[in-house]
């Protein structure tokens, strides 16, 4: 089954909003065996929406839209789609009551403008949206063509997708569908070219699966995709290919699919019964944020210090003043002392420390912006490395946090 | 001037990569007076790329593509565009030398597969890419139609956009162009409907500017846009409208355009000569990360503690054990003691604290997932609030960090 996605919103074209819904829809439909053949973004203008929906319907007969379902004047998707499919808009009394009830529960009176959200194209199926006031709509015309309208707010869109759209889609497809499925082998600490030289020779062997290299601040992801195979065959081929890629990637591979390096590190710590304390300077809390973003981190992560001012490095982490004065805050000696300090302060088995120059200011010829020292410590073994990362402040910080986690991962793998 | 953007990559359609380039291009072109009328995403398949480039060229005569310029087998944009515009691919010797030199500087031998990156459509202008091996290309056909090919790696794309593409675009447009420009008034701590009731009546007055409401975890942005006006008139109308919106939004407005609440808070702290210490639990470093993401934060931010285990709340922050035992870690008493503790630990004038239940586990009927206590303290005045945030773990944490910063902003505004 093929479909197209149309994301609607002038703010998307102006770049004021990043289109995360598009990615979310992509993952969900691919895994369900539906292929998104094209994605289009148009502004909040009735004519642009009309043309794009009509073209996409012509090509595939099935279109998912996001956005333009709110109560305000720039929300016109519903009106345009109703007109295009030759349907009147009618007020749905139960829907109006449920929108009013939602406001009641928040102890608020429903603003008059929200009333339009209870109007639906005649005969459309209402997709209940417990997370917001705009329901989704599944609209089918006399020729069996379908337009599914979803709200643009990511949390609401995601809920409707999982609870309302995917079940209907799977039912519509019946049992015998071919799927588009992917798996990813995640690598870090290695360049795209270097990883390609390690794994490139596998490519002909895994055909008809395709292989893509996806570099990012997290590393290089290797994505293999099966196109239009029966689910069981796709999964078997993907599993075999992922195993070969993983072996070829060697110690640079840290997981598959959605593997998060922070979760991988937490698992390794847990296996060794090591509890973790963190000390960070230039990453400013990002390493702790990555760790605590993993549900259940609290059994392993004790705490962190963001030692931004040097006085905190000496006072809280007990980095000797002589070290700071002799070698500077961005040095091997300091980062080692920070890792030890974090271990001590939090009575932890493992310590992880980062200190560097994220820029834009603060660089010197000896220590340019991007210079970062990282240290990982488990019991009495410390490993420290220096890296010079490219990019702007945000990117340097993200790369430094990932590299810190990777350093601890590699140290734990050896011990 | 109108143009279309085509982002190429199967990984974008599969949702494994979020299309941040599209947003970046949107912002840059709108500000430069070029209107992106449509954005399309297609997979790494020659036929899909060919059809999409041809259609977009037909509609606007000017197309920007991203992606598919790397050295690997899934990179085929250049070949397809050359063929479509009737150009041969030729090896550019200076380009090959510069790619080789880049590898030399990294003390590496250029892999053979990188050689294809030195081939260009005959007559194309090479857009130098100091950040990577794939240059951008500006290809024009005999009818004056242009396709600009940019790499998909965001950092490289952004550099080429600013340094190579926009200057050529402005030159092409001459002096007398109409622009599409926007301004944003950012609000937080208020719902979309409530802000619409405050500012909605202004909408007819600011025509022909349009107004859009953009809710996110950060709050509700109010975006006003001028379409196709001369630059000076657009800017004057936008400035006047932004001022009216800002006034109507009242204390809920915290800035305009790219204003970052963390930077706003840092500025307010700096004005009062207050230095800041942070104590956070459920946000796990995110509040400190937000603050330190602002360049120059080090003059005002001293440090933070991620007090994830309760023992750190008592040991490092001196939250009395009796308070933790009587009221629990997620309580007004605890968050107040944490803010005081952060102030004391970092010898700071201001303290900011967060404790809550980010989920998915840990909720109770009394304190469901999403329950967060926030406290801001300046000198001896503490303000504490309880919020119950919707969403998943990541969203609850993001909302809690923004609300913590907002609480401190409001307290500083009063003092």
B94 touches chain A (CB under 8 A): no
- Beta carbons of A19 and B16 less than 8 Å apart: no
B293 touches chain A (CB under 8 A): yes
A25 touches chain B (CB under 8 A): yes
For A120, B35, B267, the CA distances from A47, given in Å and listed in that order, are 20, 16, 44
The pair of structure tokens assigned to A375 is 């240290």
Say what the pLDDT of residue A73 is: 66
Q: What is the mean pLDDT of chain A?
A: 92
Helices (H) and strands (E) in chain A, counts: 16, 17
Pairing of strands A301-307, A276-280: parallel
B71 touches chain A (CB under 8 A): yes
Same fold, B2-173 and B179-256: no
Interface test with B, best of A288, A290, A301 (most B CBs within 10 A): A288
Say what the pLDDT of residue A405 is: 98
Q: What average pLDDT does range A202-213 have in this prediction?
A: 91
Say what the pLDDT of residue B175 is: 60
Torsion angles phi and psi, residue A353, rounded to 5: -140, 145
Choice between B274 and A29, residue whose per-residue pLDDT is larger: B274
Give the whole-angstrom CA distance, residue B80 versus residue B136: 15
Beta strands in B155-236 (DSSP E): 179-187, 210-216, 219-229
Q: Among the residues of A61-153, which ranges form H helices?
A: 77-84, 93-105
DSSP state of A179: E
**A98-112, A125-139, A154-168, A268-282, range with the lowest pLDDT:** A98-112
Query: Up-side HSE of residue B270: CA atoms within 13 Å toward CB?
Result: 13
- Beta carbons of A306 and B184 less than 8 Å apart: no
The pair of structure tokens assigned to B118 is 């030195």
Cα-Cα-Cα-Cα torsion A306, A311, A317, A322, nearest 10 degrees, comes to 140
DSSP state of A44: S
Query: Up-side HSE of residue A217: CA atoms within 13 Å toward CB?
Result: 18
Flag whether pLDDT at A42 surpasses 90: yes
Nearby residues of B62 by Cβ (< 8 Å), 6 or more positions away? B1, B2, B3, B4, B145, B146
Nearby residues of A364 by Cβ (< 8 Å), 6 or more positions away? none
ipTM of the complex: 0.75
Q: Among the residues of A283-364, which ranges form H helices?
A: 286-292, 310-315, 321-327, 332-345
Q: Which chain A residues are closer than 8 Å to B18 by Cβ?
A: 18-20, 22-23
Say what the pLDDT of residue B71 is: 74
| Extents of the domains making up chain B | 2-173, 179-256, 261-414
Flag whether pLDDT at A114 surpasses 90: no
CATH topology of domain A179-256: Alpha-Beta Plaits (3.30.70)
**A71-75, A78-82, A234-238, range with the lowest pLDDT:** A71-75
- The number of angstroms, rounded, from the C-alpha of B251 to the middle of its chain's C-alpha atoms is 24
* CB atoms near residue A116 (< 10 Å): 18
- Beta carbons of A284 and B291 less than 8 Å apart: yes
Say what the pLDDT of residue A175 is: 60
Q: What average pLDDT does range A143-157 have in this prediction?
A: 93
Give the whole-angstrom CA distance, residue B384 versus residue B398: 18
Torsion angles phi and psi, residue B296, rounded to 5: 85, 10
Give the whole-angstrom CA distance, residue B39 versus residue A356: 39
Give the whole-angstrom CA distance, residue A294 versus residue B83: 48
- Sheet harboring A210-216: ordered strands across? A210-216, A219-229, A179-187, A253-256
Answer whether B18's CB lies under 8 Å from A19's CB.
Answer: yes
**pLDDT tens for the 415 residues of chain B, in order:** 899 999 999 889 988 888 999 999 998 898 788 889 999 999 999 999 999 999 999 999 999 999 988 777 667 899 999 999 999 999 999 999 988 888 887 777 888 888 888 899 999 999 999 888 789 999 999 899 999 999 998 989 999 998 999 889 888 877 656 777 889 999 999 988 899 999 989 999 999 998 988 888 999 999 998 877 888 899 999 999 999 999 999 999 999 998 999 999 999 999 999 999 999 999 999 999 999 999 999 999 999 999 999 999 999 999 999 999 999 999 999 999 999 999 999 999 999 999 999 999 999 999 999 999 999 999 999 999 999 998 899 999 999 999 999 999 999 999 7
Torsion angles phi and psi, residue B264, rounded to 5: -60, -45
Question: Looking at the DSSP assignment, which residues form a beta bridge with residue A382?
Answer: A377
CATH topology of domain B2-173: Molybdenum Cofactor Biosythetic Enzyme; Chain A (3.40.980)
Give the whole-angstrom CA distance, residue A108 versus residue A100: 9
- The number of angstroms, rounded, from the C-alpha of B194 to the middle of its chain's C-alpha atoms is 25
User: Which residue in B has a C-alpha nearest to residue A281's C-alpha?
Assistant: B303
Task: State whether CATH 3.90.950.20 applies to domain B261-414.
Answer: yes
Give the whole-angstrom CA distance, residue A377 versus residue A275: 11
Interface of B with A in 313-372 (CB under 8 A): 316, 345-346, 359-361
Element (H, E) at B66: strand B62-66
Query: Up-side HSE of residue B147: CA atoms within 13 Å toward CB?
Result: 32
Say what the pLDDT of residue A372 is: 97
Say what the pLDDT of residue B370 is: 95
**A184-198, A268-282, A293-307, B101-115, range with the lowest pLDDT:** B101-115
The pair of structure tokens assigned to A239 is 């599993």
A44 touches chain B (CB under 8 A): yes
This prediction's pTM: 0.76
Nearby residues of B224 by Cβ (< 8 Å), 6 or more positions away? B182, B183, B184, B185, B206, B209, B210, B211, B212, B238, B241, B242, B245
Could you say which of B12, B26, B214 has the minimum Cβ distance to residue A15?
Answer: B26
Answer whether A187's CB lies under 8 Å from A222's CB.
Answer: yes
Give the whole-angstrom CA distance, residue B76 versus residue B79: 6
Question: In a 10 Å sphere around its CB, with 0-12 CB exposed, 13-18 middle and 19+ buried, how is residue B51 labelled?
Answer: middle
Give the whole-angstrom CA distance, residue A355 versus residue A312: 13
- Beta carbons of A293 and B393 less than 8 Å apart: yes
Say what the pLDDT of residue B75 is: 76
What percentage of chain A's residues is helix, strand, coil (to nearest 5)? Answer: 45, 25, 30
Flag whether pLDDT at A160 surpasses 90: yes
* CB atoms near residue B244 (< 10 Å): 15
Choice between A210 and B219, residue whose per-residue pLDDT is larger: B219
Cα-Cα-Cα-Cα torsion B233, A74, A7, A137, nearest 10 degrees, comes to 180
Give the whole-angstrom CA distance, residue A387 versus residue A353: 13
Say what the pLDDT of residue B406 is: 98
Give the whole-angstrom CA distance, residue A331 versus residue B347: 26
Give the whole-angstrom CA distance, residue B51 versus residue B45: 10
A201 touches chain B (CB under 8 A): no
Flag whether pLDDT at A176 surpasses 80: no
Nearby residues of A2 by Cβ (< 8 Å), 6 or more positions away? A34, A35, A36, A37, A60, A62
Flag whether pLDDT at A31 surpasses 80: no
Flag whether pLDDT at A53 surpasses 70: yes
The pair of structure tokens assigned to B11 is 């990984």
Say what the pLDDT of residue A191 is: 87
The alpha-carbon gap from A406 to the nearest alpha carbon of chain B, in Å, equals 19
Answer whether A400's CB lies under 8 Å from A406's CB.
Answer: no
The pair of structure tokens assigned to B102 is 């880049």
DSSP letters along B116-149, please? Answer: GGGEEETTPEEE--TTSSSPEEEEE-TTS-EEEE
The pair of structure tokens assigned to A211 is 């292989």
Give the whole-angstrom CA distance, residue B413 versus residue B250: 12
């Amino acid at each position: 089954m093929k479909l197209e996605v149309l994301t609607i919103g002038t703010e998307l074209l102006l770049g004021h909003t990043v289109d995360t819904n598009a990615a979310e829809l992509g993952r969900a439909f691919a895994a369900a065996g539906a292929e998104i053949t094209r994605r289009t973004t148009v502004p909040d203008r009735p004519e642009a929406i009309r043309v794009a929906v009509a073209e996409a319907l012509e090509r595939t007969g099935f279109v998912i839209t996001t956005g333009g379902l709110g109560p305000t004047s720039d929300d016109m998707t519903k009106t345009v789609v109703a007109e295009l499919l030759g349907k009147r808009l009618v007020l749905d009394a139960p829907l109006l009551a449920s929108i009013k009830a939602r406001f009641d529960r928040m102890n608020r009176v429903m603003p008059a403008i929200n009333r339009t959200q209870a109007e639906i194209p005649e005969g459309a199926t209402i997709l209940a949206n417990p997370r917001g006031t705009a329901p989704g709509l599944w609209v089918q015309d006399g020729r069996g063509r379908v337009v599914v309208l979803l709200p643009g707010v990511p949390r609401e869109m995601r809920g409707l997708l999982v609870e309302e759209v995917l079940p209907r889609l799977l039912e519509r497809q019946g049992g015998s569908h071919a799927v588009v499925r992917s798996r990813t082998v995640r690598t870090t600490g290695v360049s795209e070219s270097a990883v390609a030289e390690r794994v490139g020779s596998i490519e002909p062997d895994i055909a008809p699966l395709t292989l893509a290299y996806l570099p990012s601040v997290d590393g290089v992801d290797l994505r293999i995709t099966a196109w239009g195979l029966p689910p069981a065959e796709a999964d078997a081929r993907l599993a075999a290919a992922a195993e070969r890629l993983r072996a070829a990637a060697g110690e640079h591979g840290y997981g598959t699919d959605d593997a998060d390096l922070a979760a991988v590190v937490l698992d390794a710590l847990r296996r060794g019964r090591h509890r973790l304390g963190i000390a960070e300077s230039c990453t400013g809390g990002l390493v702790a944020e990555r760790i605590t973003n993993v549900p259940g981190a609290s059994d392993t992560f004790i705490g962190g210090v963001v030692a931004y001012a040097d006085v905190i490095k000496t006072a809280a982490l007990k980095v000797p003043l002589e070290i700071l004065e002799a070698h500077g805050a961005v040095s091997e000696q300091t980062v080692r002392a920070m890792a030890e300090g974090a271990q001590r302060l939090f009575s932890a088995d493992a310590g992880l420390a980062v200190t560097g120059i994220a820029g834009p200011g603060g660089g010197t010829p000896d220590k340019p912006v991007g210079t970062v020292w990282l240290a990982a410590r488990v019991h009495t073994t410390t490993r420290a490395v220096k890296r010079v990362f490219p990019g702007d402040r945000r990117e340097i910080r993200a790369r430094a946090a990932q590299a810190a986690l990777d350093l601890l991962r590699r140290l734990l793998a050896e011990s």
